[in-house]
Amino acid sequence: MIIVIADNLTCAAEIAGLGRSYGLDTVLLSDVPTVLPQRPLVVIATDTRSGSESQAVADTEALCRKLGPAMSTAHQRLVLYKAVDPYMRGHLVGELQAMMRGTAYQQVVCLPANPSRDLIIRGGCCYVEGTPLDQTPYAAQSDAVIDTASVCLRLGITPQSRIRVPDAVTPDDVRQVVHQTMQSNNLTLLAGSFDLFAALLEYKGYARAEQSDFQGLSREGSSLIVCGSPQSTDISSRPFVRKRDLPLDSMPRDVFDGSQGAAYWLANIQLRHFSRAAIQPARYGLVLNIPYERSCSRQSALRLRTEMAQVVSQLVEQMQPAELVIEGGATAYAIFERQGWRHFVVDSMISDGVVRLHLESLPSMQITFKPGHYPWGDTLFGWPSY
């Protein structure tokens, strides 16, 4: 068994989807049950990135305690992996230290590099498409302060730290890191992003499928599509949305500004799409979005995703959709928490980061999740001939 701990849903879903593409029977959890599912790959999504460092450390320690004996004997019974944001956002060092305190691991090899996506570490510095991280457009747009390309300075660690960050310029470099770590006599925790996890699976003998088995979104029943990310793009012209005639309903300005709440938006939705005199009837489903530029404050972002989660919760109950598509990790996590959905079976990875899931308790509804900064791609909203 491989257990992966991720600090947000986006990171967790990408790793879970990658594991499924390598043929592993995979589950995604947002809470740890008393008994872990007996699956080859168990991915646990926390939400520690959105809180304070002290809370993240406390939550990580609590998670290690809940996992209990399985983690304390990780070298004998399972492999533990810490999923890491490639730009090193979150409370990475604090959580890694908490994991070492709560398990048998003595040191960490942390490799956030993804050479397959032109994100490398060379000479201890992070480069994106050849540009130092702190000089990229991403550094200016990120909600985290990125003022150096030096990995050690960014993480606040020294060469003597029990957390080591090696260079990796090519995929072969990443594979070599995995080989050396797994062959070492020391108990070393692997922490990294997409490429490192893929290299770990290959080291353990798994092979990635050449194509996804995704056959297209269902045309039976209704579809609820939630565009909850600041990076959302217009999907109204995509074949699936156009041919199913799915109307768009945007969060009202009053709700966005905070003078009204979810109930106000829901009332508008009922009038526009579900009443007898509906202006745009939701015969086959509905698309929701937030059309305004988002505030950068954490409090505002929390309020917006909470309002969205309340609206989606009501609509899921009313529509009982066959397809629920959610864009944005924080929005999806809020929806799942609101619904009490914590145990998902991973069906497939449509493309990088775009993952199909279902609830064991509700197999009739497919859930498709996409991180906000990833493109929708042509496959998801295409119109395959089947």
Q: Which two tokens stand for residue 381?
A: 């909203």
Q: Output the CA torsion sign for 241, 247, 253, 257.
A: negative
What CATH number is given for 223-370 in this structure?
A: 3.40.980.20
Supply φ then ψ for residue 326, to 5 degrees.
-125, 130
Q: Encode 257-292: b = buried (16+ Cβ within 10 Å), e = exposed.
A: eeebebeebbebbeebbeeeeeeeebebbbbbbbee
Strands (E), 10-59: 26-29, 41-45
**Model pLDDT, residue 297:** 73
How far apart are alpha carbons 356 and 221 in whole angstroms? Answer: 17
Of 26, 347, 57, the C-alpha closest to 212 is: 347
How far apart are alpha carbons 166 and 258 in whole angstroms? Answer: 46
**Model pLDDT, residue 242:** 94
Q: Which residues of the chain have pLDDT under 70?
A: 69-77, 141-143, 294-296, 385-386
Domain ranges of the chain: 2-113+166-203, 223-370
Percent of the chain that is helix, strand, coil (3-state, to 5): 40, 20, 40
What stretch of H or E contains 145?
none
Q: In this predicted model, what pLDDT tens digit does every residue of 76-89 receive, in sequence order? A: 457 899 999 998 88
Of 162, 166, 188, the C-alpha closest to 175 is: 166
Q: Which CATH superfamily is domain 2-113+166-203 in?
A: Putative sugar-binding, N-terminal domain (3.40.50.10840)
How far apart are alpha carbons 67 and 82 in whole angstroms? Answer: 14
**Model pLDDT, residue 376:** 81
Q: Which two tokens stand for residue 23?
A: 């043929």
pTM exceeding the 0.85 threshold for the entire prediction: yes
**Model pLDDT, residue 296:** 60
CB 18 within 8 A of CB 198: yes
How far apart are alpha carbons 1 and 208 in whole angstroms? Answer: 18
**Model pLDDT, residue 384:** 78
Neighbours of 364 (CB within 10 A): 11
**Model pLDDT, residue 221:** 93
Supply φ then ψ for residue 219, to 5 degrees.
-95, 0
User: Helix 9-21 vs helix 194-203: angle between axes, to the nearest 10 degrees?
Assistant: 30
Task: Fill in the amino acid letter for 233.
Answer: T
How far apart are alpha carbons 292 and 301 in whole angstroms? Answer: 12
